Structure 1
């Protein structure tokens, strides 16, 4: 058994993480042993390694926050699950490991069909995309939404979910080479970011108001999204790829009633009812298992190559997710 562990944080994420052997402890009543099949490396994971994320676990810690696996053993008294069932890993607590002990209660059972690599990514990015589209503005089929970082994992899911809901998307990327992949997912309009973004976005919408703007970049990119919105539009920020504070002109607030909101999935987890969480994850798991919702994967790595995997995830201009396959190909 291997786990990817770090005992300190630093500016270069691959320098602080390493694969170390371990032995799983005996299972206590109510616990199960999960054989981890796949776990992604997300931007939040990298920020946790560098110490820049909003929630940092005590050290030493195992990297990763989401993934999926297969029940390998049942502890005493567990009769609600069976060996071989596929489940989501509990969020947090370290997913970059070959095996994980977890409480049986509350585990989300996954469909028996569907690509394990795709199912491993449903805990963070797909619900983020879904909730960004539903929690901040009343949208109807035919309405326009604009987002930057459209070639990111969240951006890709958002394009697909918006299309399924009948919404139209204006998708902003930093380079033309990233545009075709967004179009292939169903993006209605793809624009390269720039000073005249708002004009080009309004022209693409043909005068229809753009009601919702989604910003993962911060800095002056937030202002460009705000300028594209119609009166009363909402900008929702969920990331800071620029590492800069969001900037919006007071004129947007005062004269066009644009508002700026923030979204953090961890807070939504804390506040949402169990029924609401089950509804969101049930819809996503069904779509992913059916193949109607997916994310691009650039490369997969074993845990023994965790440093290479983290370096690949931290590199710029990727064309898909980096995934760990702790127990070999799936």
Structure 2
């Protein structure tokens, strides 16, 4: 098999394509022939040694894959060779073949494109977990999504609409605002061109959003939190803006608001049945067109470093995937 190998913690450009023997699934495992692998911000951090998980070197990055079952290990009865599947792998997906625990592999309906499916587990799984399990977003509430044209942000826009919320998309350019509108955002704030708090006050008649979905952090966190509605829920999803913010704790007190952490990977590990339920709902929404994932570019394996660099420089709208074959 061919794989993108990380042999030292460094910038993505240090990655290289290598040949390795095809892996063999052990009991309870599945070997997947990878047709597409989702590219995510944590992949880039992991390659640079800056993520909370540091795999032993060398390793192949890539946390999610879609493809067909190539082989199954002993005890695997719900999957068969040739079946179309999507899986959360943690690492290893940037390759022509990857091993995954059978419990992390979900069969796919025939109508879902494998490139689209590869974008579902992490970005859409994170957004689904955040909005349904952590925020308990209700129909009729107002949701503010920061970084709304990125992978998890755009997923949150669409899932928020599917749940019946009014969605305000926070973006860093007019072009990204158009992407958010095309995927369901009711209102757009270009926080590079206008004050976030002032515009939120106008759009919510001074009340503020009920739920704030924040994968950006950095300088946006405090002004966004100062705008939250009474009893609001602030979802801490990530820090793509670079700096981990320090929020004055008098603000949650004054707003009667909650700061809610979102760690989808640990949730999926601890409660795989709830995660599978979320992914089944997502697949159903994709199949009927309620959720329309945007895969903006597909890179060959040899250009994996360029895909990660585009993510780090926040030049990606929606999701990008690697096509190893």
Question: Is the CA contact 2:92–2:99 (under 8 Å) kept in the aligned structure 1?
Answer: no
Q: Secondary structure at the match of 1:126?
A: helix
Question: Is the CA contact 2:30–2:72 (under 8 Å) kept in the aligned structure 1?
Answer: yes
Residues 61 and 143 (structure 1), Cα distance of their counterparts in 2 relative to 1, 3 Å cut: same
1:27 Cα offset (Å): 5.2
The residue aligned with 1:297 is: 295
The residue aligned with 1:95 is: 93
1:152 Cα offset (Å): 1.0
Distance 1:309 1:61 in 2: 18
Distance 1:229 1:78 in 2: 47
Shifted more, 305-314 versus 225-234: the winner is: 305-314
Residues 254 and 140 (structure 1), Cα distance of their counterparts in 2 relative to 1, 3 Å cut: closer
* TM-score, L = length of structure 2: 0.91
The residue aligned with 1:277 is: 275
Shifted more, 37-46 versus 86-95: the winner is: 86-95
Residues 288 and 4 (structure 1), Cα distance of their counterparts in 2 relative to 1, 3 Å cut: same
Shifted more, 93-102 versus 144-153: the winner is: 93-102
Return the match for 1:37 from 35, 38, 45: 35
Distance 2:314 2:160 in 1: 26
1:108 Cα offset (Å): 1.7
Return the match for 1:109 from 107, 110, 116: 107
Q: How many residues align?
A: 324
The residue aligned with 1:50 is: 48
Shifted more, 58-67 versus 293-302: the winner is: 293-302
Verify: 1:314 aligned to 2:312, yes or no: yes
The residue aligned with 1:175 is: 173
Question: Is the CA contact 1:225–1:235 (under 8 Å) kept in the aligned structure 2?
Answer: no
1:301 Cα offset (Å): 1.8
Question: Is the CA contact 1:218–1:244 (under 8 Å) kept in the aligned structure 2?
Answer: yes
What 5-or-longer segments of structure 1 have no aligned partner? none
Question: Is the CA contact 2:162–2:291 (under 8 Å) kept in the aligned structure 1?
Answer: no
The residue aligned with 1:130 is: 128
Question: Is the CA contact 2:119–2:321 (under 8 Å) kept in the aligned structure 1?
Answer: no
The residue aligned with 1:193 is: 191
Question: Is the CA contact 1:213–1:229 (under 8 Å) kept in the aligned structure 2?
Answer: yes
Distance 1:268 1:279 in 2: 13
Distance 1:286 1:29 in 2: 30
CA RMSD of aligned residues (A): 2.3
Shifted more, 88-97 versus 165-174: the winner is: 88-97
| 1:93-126 deviation per Cα after TM superposition (whole angstroms, max 9, x unaligned) | 3101101244546532122221111111111111
| 1:72-112 deviation per Cα after TM superposition (whole angstroms, max 9, x unaligned) | 23456755432210112342131011012445465321222
Distance 2:232 2:73 in 1: 52
Distance 2:235 2:149 in 1: 17
Distance 1:233 1:30 in 2: 42
The residue aligned with 1:9 is: 9
Question: Is the CA contact 1:85–1:112 (under 8 Å) kept in the aligned structure 2?
Answer: no
The residue aligned with 2:148 is: 150
1:32 Cα offset (Å): 4.1
Distance 2:176 2:98 in 1: 36
Residues 261 and 104 (structure 1), Cα distance of their counterparts in 2 relative to 1, 3 Å cut: closer
Distance 2:239 2:8 in 1: 23
The residue aligned with 1:24 is: 22
